[in-house]
Structure 1
Amino acid sequence: MVVDDQASMRAMIRRALQDFGFKDVRDKADPVEALSAVKSDRVHLIISDYNMPEMDGLQLLEEVRKDPVIGKTVFIMLTGSSDREIVQRAAALGVNNYVVKPFAPAALKEKIERVFGELT
């Protein structure tokens, strides 16, 4: 599940994930909708932007981690900021990895492989 309020970023990440071999890639612009979708139809990976209206990526991460069913879902945070406080808060909430925008698809692949192992 790709969660980002920018359509162009969602499309770029979706294409990259498909190129990496992911078959069922879904996306949502709204983190509240994404949370609901993930609860009703589980996913193996959430890639979420940090800076979004209504609910930011840290709040989404916190909600995912609190849920007994989806709490262990792999979560990678994207952000345009390398603000140390955001990184520390994400780590404290149990983020699996962190990618700073802008990034190349190869960098995203590396972060995913650190969690799942080598992608074929």
Structure 2
Amino acid sequence: MDSRGRMLIRRGSSRVDALQARAQAATLADAIAREAVEAGDRRARAWSRDSMSDPLPVRHPTPVLSVPAQGPQDCRPIAVNREPCPRCETRGDLGCAHQRPFVAEAG
């Protein structure tokens, strides 16, 4: 006992260490089991409702017609005039690997 009348527990004794280890292991096992149950509940709640950020979950069929996939598009910039391409000197109205052909508007 110490000067205040409290019982002193030696940390080095094997019995005290074993009891503490058993209590910590039981607490840890309970916490892991509780976390697994809570995680399952969270997942079930997340899959059961839609939100503004995810209005059409992958699990549910699409209620509206989706936009059909479009083929590859020409992503080259349009030539703004008939001047040659600054990279390869091809005439602007012919088009090249760097720009689409120039099309003059009637008017």
Greater share of strand: 1
Greater share of helix: 1
What TM-score range do you get, normalising by the shorter chain? under 0.3
- Structure with the greater alpha carbon radius of gyration: 2
TM-score of the superposed pair, with normalisation by structure 2: 0.15
TM-score of the superposed pair, with normalisation by structure 1: 0.14
Q: Which has the higher contact order (CA 8 A, sep 6+)?
A: 1
